């Protein structure tokens, strides 16, 4: 006999489903209606249906595509950098951390800082007249690069994001690495495998699920980036550091183009859904 | 430890206290501009008002964060919020918030206290929407010591002339900053640029605020205005692609490309500009009047406080122009206590209240007779009033509901040009098309 009957299961699930319908379903429906309406802040309660014009406007908007390209590049680059550095640190520091677990605390500290605060902090740190980095560069080399100008802003933002979130990847990888039974490594060592071969043929395959998950979590976080970029460079000179989230925020609040902003968010939702569904199916096929 | 009933009750009270909004005794709630001198002055003024007001008219203040303030306010007001009776309103957002506000009659004395031109900063469609509490405009800050040394040194003057000829195509000579044209300012900025003149005692000639931010466009606007530029002509045609805008956009780019402004200027706004000028490495800066207190404070800016001079922005062919931007308080259409709120607004527009607000650190623009009464304590307010009445302007269309999006659009397009991402023609064409779309709404 099943531990929980079907009726009981439904009863237990009802509050959760109700919660999701109320707090996710309702805004989603309002979003869909707004996306095919002419609506302003004054007519929030009485939008006028106007067809797919908002979607056409979004898809024809060069800024939408450039912000999508920014988000994609930013997400891929930061996720790759964070995972590679995190993996290296996890394996490299594992012997030390197993003896001195207290060292984990300082390594995790960047995660405790709100991204908007990180943006503000680097505005100060990189400021030519107030920041320590340009100060020492001027002292030692007589010059300092413009970290946030049109040529370097993207690179600086990638480095700032990577510095903050590498500990997240590192934490996951260290846990996965620690969970690999020692006897497997010892056995391969007895069979003559070098340390590099052990990493390549034993550790990495066993850590693969964690590597994939960490990469996607970091990619999603990087793709939807808002706070630190907004605090550090805003949407950038000529919109050069406009991520998709910033694009939607600006269209909604700054331009008052509510229909366009919501249509962009629906497009983003559909694109994310297709990608995630595809990945899910891929994972399912591999298992099968 | 086991929790008994009393502990549970205490915890529940504590949680309820943090989760629920505070029950206020006051019946007029004012949503003010948070942080800075505006909050300090409003708190002090309200304290005095509450001493004389009846219980039903007492005022309680509400502040939230500056970041995204106008966006949050818009969302609140559009949702019909009655959480506040009076709310902050700014010259360039009156049109945006007017649909959710009610005009007020401040009485005839208000004009005597503030003057008609300042009252206008709170008007939309000919109706008064608020009491002007603070006025912002721009000062040209400069290093007196550097300019004095330049004026006394013949060899330096010769170099100055050569630089002006090379970069601006004009044989200029150093002048007293109070009689600068924009070309004089540009020549001075170039002369004090290490990259242009290796003998310059400072690294940069000026600090340009070029972050993609609407407020930075307000700072820039006085330049084209003094060349006769405007957003629209009297027939409502957008005129942003005028020669005035072209000349001034080119001048900014020339200075930025020549290295006259810090390399990271494309990420600079108010705070960065203050830091750059206060470091002693910049000769001039066109900056908000609010920075005067910091830049002339020996505690906050020890490197430059004693040698910082302040004049109105330089002149163009059409004379001087200074972009004015007023903050004030107006009546929420959904206010719960309109009677009490209007009573407070009328009191705030009296001479006594305005003087109290000024003495408490606010920056009201007062008529000459009234400001004379606080001239000793607040000499900067005299300059503020003088510049506002002589050079103050508001661009045509800049109080419409689309004013802020227009500034946003200009920030994106103009800075796109300055950063070399698009040509001047493209930037102006995009701006004109966008403004036509926004201003016809």
Q: Which of B266, B280, B426, B435 to mutate to test the interface with A (most CBs of A within 10 A)?
A: B266
Looking at chain A, list the stretches that DSSP marks H as alpha helix, in order from N- to C-terminal side. 6-20, 26-35, 53-59, 62-99, 104-108, 115-125, 132-141, 153-178, 182-190, 195-198, 204-223, 227-232, 244-249, 258-287
Q: Please state, in angstroms and rounded to a whole number, the distance separating the CA atoms of residues B441 and B437.
A: 7
Chain B residues touching residue A126 (CB < 8 angstroms) = 264
Confidence of residue A287 (pLDDT cuts 50, 70, 90): low
Minimal Cβ distance to A238: which of B74, B262, B419: B419
DSSP letter string, B32-66:
---SHHHHHHHHHHHHHHHHHS-GGG-EEEE---S
> For B317-331, what is the mean pLDDT?
94
**Chain mean pLDDT for chain A:** 89
Lowest mean pLDDT segment, chosen from B63-72, B124-133, B382-391: B63-72
B17 vs B72, which has greater pLDDT?
B72
pLDDT number for residue B351? 95
The token pair at A191 is: 């069979």
Instruction: Give yes or no for residue B402 having a pLDDT over 50.
Output: yes
pLDDT number for residue B21? 47
Percentage of chain A exceeding pLDDT 90 = 52
Whether B406 and chain A come into contact, CB under 8 Å, resolves to no
Instruction: Give yes or no for residue B2 having a pLDDT over 90.
Output: no
User: Does the distance separating the beta carbons of B267 and A238 come in below 8 Å?
Assistant: no
Q: Please state, in angstroms and rounded to a whole number, the distance separating the CA atoms of residues B107 and B349.
A: 9
- d(CA A246, nearest CA chain B) in Å: 13
Write out pLDDT tens, residues A219-261.
Answer: 989 999 999 999 888 888 878 899 999 999 988 887 778 999 9
Q: Which of A30, A41, A70 to mutate to test the interface with B (most CBs of B within 10 A)?
A: A41
Minimal Cβ distance to B263: which of A146, A235, A239: A146
> For A101-116, what is the mean pLDDT?
89
pLDDT number for residue B168? 96
pLDDT number for residue B75? 86
> For B120-127, what is the mean pLDDT?
88
pLDDT number for residue B8? 57
Looking at A109-194, list the stretches that DSSP marks H as alpha helix, in order from N- to C-terminal side. 115-125, 132-141, 153-178, 182-190
In chain B the domains, ranked by start, together with CATH numbers, are 5-136+325-393 (3.40.190.10), 138-323+402-439 (3.40.190.10)
Whether A127 and chain B come into contact, CB under 8 Å, resolves to yes
Q: Which of B412, B420, B427 to mutate to test the interface with A (most CBs of A within 10 A)?
A: B412
Q: Which of A26, A25, A30 is nearest to A44 (CA)?
A: A30
- d(CA A102, nearest CA chain B) in Å: 30
* H or E element, residue B270: helix B270-278
The token pair at A287 is: 């298992």
pLDDT number for residue B391? 92
- Strands (E) in B122-221, as ranges, are 123-124, 127-128, 131-136, 138-143
Write out pLDDT tens, residues B100-113.
Answer: 999 999 988 899 99
Write out pLDDT tens, residues B149-199.
Answer: 999 999 999 999 999 999 999 999 999 999 999 999 999 999 999 999 999
Contact, B310 vs B384, CB < 8 A? Answer: no
pLDDT number for residue B67? 67
Q: Please state, in angstroms and rounded to a whole number, the distance separating the CA atoms of residues B128 and B106.
A: 8
Q: Report the residue of chain B nearest A254, measured CA to CA.
A: B405
Confidence of residue B22 (pLDDT cuts 50, 70, 90): very low
> For A30-40, what is the mean pLDDT?
90
Instruction: Give yes or no for residue B13 having a pLDDT over 90.
Output: no
> For A67-94, what is the mean pLDDT?
95
A&B contacts, CB < 8 Å? 96
Whether B279 and chain A come into contact, CB under 8 Å, resolves to yes
Other beta carbons within 10 Å of B181: 17
Give the torsion sign (CA, B347, B349, B352, B354).
positive
Cα torsion A59, A64, A68, A74 to 10°: value is: 170
Chain B residues touching residue A236 (CB < 8 angstroms) = 212, 266
Whether B212 and chain A come into contact, CB under 8 Å, resolves to yes
Percentage of chain B exceeding pLDDT 70 = 93
Backbone angles phi, psi at A68, to 5 degrees: -65, -40
Instruction: Give yes or no for residue B413 having a pLDDT over 50.
Output: yes
Whether A234 and chain B come into contact, CB under 8 Å, resolves to yes
ipTM of the complex: 0.74
pLDDT number for residue B170? 92
Instruction: Give yes or no for residue B23 having a pLDDT over 50.
Output: no
Whether A129 and chain B come into contact, CB under 8 Å, resolves to yes
B368 vs B200, which has greater pLDDT?
B200
**Chain mean pLDDT for chain B:** 90
In chain A the domains, ranked by start, together with CATH numbers, are 64-280 (1.10.3720.10)
- d(CA B391, nearest CA chain A) in Å: 29
Contact, A244 vs A75, CB < 8 A? Answer: no
Contact, B159 vs B326, CB < 8 A? Answer: no
Contact, A227 vs A114, CB < 8 A? Answer: yes
Range with the largest mean pLDDT of A136-145, A251-260, B4-13, B246-255: B246-255
- d(CA B405, nearest CA chain A) in Å: 5
Window 302-361 of B: residues touching A by CB (8 A cutoff) are: none
> For B349-378, what is the mean pLDDT?
91
Backbone angles phi, psi at A165, to 5 degrees: -105, -5
> For A40-59, what is the mean pLDDT?
87
> For A81-106, what is the mean pLDDT?
92
Q: Please state, in angstroms and rounded to a whole number, the distance separating the CA atoms of residues B377 and B355.
A: 11
Write out pLDDT tens, residues B246-275.
Answer: 999 999 999 999 999 998 899 898 889 999
pLDDT number for residue A203? 92
């Amino acid at each position: 006999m099943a531990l929980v009957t079907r009726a009981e299961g439904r009863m237990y699930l009802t509050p959760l489903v109700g919660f999701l319908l109320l707090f996710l379903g309702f805004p989603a429906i309002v979003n869909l209606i707004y996306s095919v309406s002419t609506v302003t802040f004054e007519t929030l309660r009485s939008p006028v249906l106007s067809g797919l014009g908002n979607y056409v406007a979004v898809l024809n908007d060069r800024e939408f595509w450039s912000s999508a390209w920014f988000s994609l590049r930013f997400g891929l680059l930061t996720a790759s950098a964070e995972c590679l550095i995190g993996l290296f640190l996890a394996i490299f520091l594992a012997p030390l951390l197993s003896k001195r677990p207290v060292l984990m605390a300082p390594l995790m500290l960047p995660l405790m800082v709100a991204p908007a605060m990180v943006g503000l902090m680097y505005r100060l740190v990189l400021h030519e007249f107030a920041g320590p980095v340009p100060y020492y560069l001027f002292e030692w080399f007589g010059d300092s690069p413009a970290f946030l100008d049109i040529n370097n802003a993207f690179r600086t933002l990638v480095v700032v994001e990577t510095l903050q979130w590498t500990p997240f990847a590192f934490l996951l990888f260290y846990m996965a690495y620690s969970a690999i039974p020692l006897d497997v490594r010892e056995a391969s060592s007895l069979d003559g495998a070098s340390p590099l071969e052990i990493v390549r043929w034993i550790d990495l395959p066993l850590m693969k699920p964690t590597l994939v998950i960490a990469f996607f979590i970091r990619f999603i976080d990087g793709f939807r980036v808002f706070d630190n970029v907004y605090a550090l460079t805003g949407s950038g000179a000529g919109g050069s550091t406009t991520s998709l989230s910033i694009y939607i925020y600006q269209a909604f609040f700054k331009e008052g183009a509510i229909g366009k902003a919501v249509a962009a968010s629906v497009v983003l939702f559909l694109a994310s859904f297709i990608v995630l569904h595809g990945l899910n199916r891929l994972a399912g096929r591999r298992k099968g | 430890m086991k929790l008994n009933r009393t502990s549970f009750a205490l915890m529940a009270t504590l949680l309820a206290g943090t989760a629920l909004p505070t029950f206020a005794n006051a019946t007029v709630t004012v949503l003010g501009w948070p942080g800075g001198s505006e909050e300090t002055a409003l708190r002090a003024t309200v304290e005095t008002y509450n001493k004389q007001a009846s219980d039903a008219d007492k005022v309680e203040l509400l502040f939230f964060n500056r970041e995204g303030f106008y966006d949050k306010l818009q969302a609140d007001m559009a949702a019909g919020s009655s959480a506040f009776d009076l709310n902050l309103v700014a010259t360039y957002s009156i049109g945006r918030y007017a649909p959710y506000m009610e005009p007020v009659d401040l009485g005839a004395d208000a004009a005597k206290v503030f003057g008609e031109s300042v009252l206008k900063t709170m008007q939309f469609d000919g109706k008064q929407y608020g009491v002007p509490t603070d006025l912002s405009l721009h000062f040209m800050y400069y290093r007196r010591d550097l300019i004095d040394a330049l004026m006394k040194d013949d060899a330096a003057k010769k170099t100055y002339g050569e630089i002006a000829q090379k970069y601006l195509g004009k044989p200029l000579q150093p002048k007293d900053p109070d009689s600068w044209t924009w070309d004089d300012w540009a020549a001075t900025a170039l002369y004090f640029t290490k990259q242009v003149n290796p003998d310059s005692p400072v690294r940069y000639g000026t600090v340009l605020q070029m972050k993609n931010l609407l407020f930075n466009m307000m700072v820039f606007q006085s330049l084209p205005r003094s060349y006769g530029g405007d957003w629209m002509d009297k027939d409502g045609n957008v005129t942003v692609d005028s020669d005035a805008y072209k000349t001034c956009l080119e001048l900014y780019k020339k200075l930025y490309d020549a290295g006259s402004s810090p390399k990271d200027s494309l990420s600079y706004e108010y705070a960065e500009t203050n830091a750059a000028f206060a470091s002693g490495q910049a000769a001039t800066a066109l900056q908000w009047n609010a920075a005067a207190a910091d830049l002339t404070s020996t505690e906050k800016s020890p490197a430059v406080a004693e040698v910082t001079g302040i004049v109105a922005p330089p002149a163009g062919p059409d004379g001087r122009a200074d972009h004015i931007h007023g903050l004030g308080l107006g009546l929420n259409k959904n206010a719960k206590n309109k009677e009490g709120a209007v009573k407070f607004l009328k009191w705030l527009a009296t001479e006594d209240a305005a003087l109290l607000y000024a003495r408490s650190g606010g920056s009201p623009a007062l008529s000459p007779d009234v400001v004379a009464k606080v001239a000793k304590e607040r000499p900067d307010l005299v300059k503020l009033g003088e510049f506002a009445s002589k050079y103050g302007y508001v661009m045509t269309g800049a109080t419409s509901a689309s004013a802020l999006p227009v500034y946003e659009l200009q920030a994106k397009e103009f800075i796109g040009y300055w950063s070399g991402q698009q040509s001047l023609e493209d930037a102006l064409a995009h701006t004109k098309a966008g403004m036509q779309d926004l201003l016809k709404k």
